[in-house]
Amino acid sequence: MLLSRYLLPVMKETPADAQIVSHQLMLRAGLVRQTAAGIYAWLPLGLRVLDRISAIVRREQDRAGAIELLMPTIQSADLWRQSGRYDAYGPEMLRFQDRGQREMLYGPTNEEMITAIFRDCVRSYRDLPRTLYHIQWKFRDEVRPRFGVMRGREFLMKDAYSFDMDEASGQLSYYTQMLAYLRTFEAMGLRAVPMRAATGPIGGNLSHEFIVLADTGESEVYYDSDYEHLNWNQSAFDYGNAQDLDAFKRMFSHMYAATDETHDLRAWEQVPDERKKNGRGIEVGHIFFFGTKYSAAMGMHVQAKDGSLVTPLMGSYGVGVSRLMGAIIEANHDANGIIWPEAVAPFDIGLINLRPDDAACAAAAHDLQAKLEAAGRSVLHDDRDARGGEKFATMDLIGLPWTVTIGPKGVAARTVEVKRRATGEKQEVSVESLVAGLAKSDTMGAL
């Protein structure tokens, strides 16, 4: 991508109304623009990150056997009357009438709708268990939207719903999603800790929230340092295997983790001192197992093997997809800007041409862009007529993992300067070795 043909409105000044660093950096780096209170447009660079985050969430849901569908944003109030939640839900629900005076709402969540769909589509135990998910925009009319996409009104959420014939199968579905969540966050370069949570208005008695560790996080958290040594994606737990899931459940359930709201001093004392860690974190996911709360209220029955009618057990599993972008930035930035983990970076490489007016430099830069793209790397090529200092500052601000700089001296010597954003390390390398290294390696880290 040529920056001269892109839309990247970066800001030098920190916007006065942005209180937290992720909000400031998302505005400054040209990722989003606010279009109404708590409602954002995703500019081209921000959308690329949002798409990469969504793709990781989707991949891990698919691996865990969940099936993707897509429910609409607008729902009928009648649906919510079937579960009894229409009157119970607070003013965060955006309610309105359509032109036929029918009561409608913008979905804040989809328990009712998925229950109605499953109820109307499925008749037999043969069609269970099933976990269905979608990635769709939600609206919650926060009284005081703030912190950018961290507490916006229109936000992107992945919500999954499980349907099982009995408690044991339901618990398998629950822990399958829990494992998928830990793998999802880890794949984005985040360290997430699951914590027992209250269930609130969703219902049920089994619930966990997932807190991403970040020094600038909203909540204080207390946890066992063993969490920092676990690697969920390397672990051999197989989603289809009940014994594996049981071992997984035991593995984390003996480890302490709590936010300041749920902190239990007595249990905390049992953690060996050298493993006691506390820090700050941001909630990025919440999962619930609530049994027959919605299926019973909405009259969902399926025929069991013995011919009897069974009311399926359900769980629901949410990830704040747009919120994750804020959390990733809170956990990955410095004074100069964002430091994207490679897995979610909007482009792999920023390519700076220091002298676009010089024919040899321009030819070398376009040639290198083509070679890097042919090697499967995404490149943002700063070919603008601007000062070098401005170009370097922009690349640091938008936080691409690698910056490759071409100038007249390097063109003569067939070398470029490669800088790693995370560490600031720079090295001169030949164009050939840069391209060959990229073609061979899966991650840029191998450079």
**Residues near a second copy, by CB under 8 A:** 4-7, 9, 30, 33, 35-37, 39-44, 46-47, 50, 65, 67-76, 79, 91-92, 94-100, 102, 104, 106, 113, 116-117, 120-122, 126-127, 130, 132, 137, 139, 141, 143, 153-154, 384-385
Element (H, E) at 83: helix 77-83
Please state the closest distance from residue 323 (CB atom) to a second copy, in A: 15
* Contacts for 354-362: CB closer than 8 Å, 24+ residues apart: 354/388, 354/391, 354/405, 354/406, 354/407, 354/408, 355/407, 355/408, 356/383, 356/384, 356/385, 357/385, 358/408, 358/411, 360/408, 360/411, 361/406, 361/407, 361/408, 361/411
Please state the closest distance from residue 58 (CB atom) to a second copy, in A: 10
Distance CA 179, CA 246 (A): 11
Please state the closest distance from residue 361 (CB atom) to a second copy, in A: 19
Please state the closest distance from residue 385 (CB atom) to a second copy, in A: 8
Q: Which is nearer to a second copy, 148 or 410 (CB)?
A: 148
> Which residues are CB-contacts of 42 (< 8 A; sequence separation ≥ 6)?
31, 32, 50
Distance CA 185, CA 197 (A): 18
Q: Which is nearer to a second copy, 104 or 251 (CB)?
A: 104
- What is the SS3 assignment for 156? strand
Please state the closest distance from residue 237 (CB atom) to a second copy, in A: 19
Please state the closest distance from residue 72 (CB atom) to a second copy, in A: 5
- Four-residue CA torsion sign, 365, 371, 375, 378: positive
Distance CA 201, CA 109 (A): 12
What residues form DSSP beta bridges with 286?
Answer: 209, 318
In terms of Cα–Cα distance, which of 110, 8, 3, 20 is closest to 333?
20
Q: Which is nearer to a second copy, 114 or 182 (CB)?
A: 114
- What tokens does 162 get? 């499980």
Residue labelled with tokens 């209220």: 297
Please state the closest distance from residue 94 (CB atom) to a second copy, in A: 7
Q: Which is nearer to a second copy, 121 or 446 (CB)?
A: 121
What backbone phi and psi angles, to 5 degrees, belong to 445? -60, -20
Q: Which is nearer to a second copy, 153 or 391 (CB)?
A: 153
Q: Which is nearer to a second copy, 123 or 414 (CB)?
A: 123
Please state the closest distance from residue 195 (CB atom) to a second copy, in A: 30
Residue type at 375? A
Q: Which is nearer to a second copy, 346 or 407 (CB)?
A: 346
Q: Which is nearer to a second copy, 212 or 397 (CB)?
A: 397
Please state the closest distance from residue 122 (CB atom) to a second copy, in A: 7
- Pairing verdict, β 313-320 and 74-76: unpaired
Q: Which is nearer to a second copy, 224 or 348 (CB)?
A: 348
- What tokens does 399 get? 């936080």
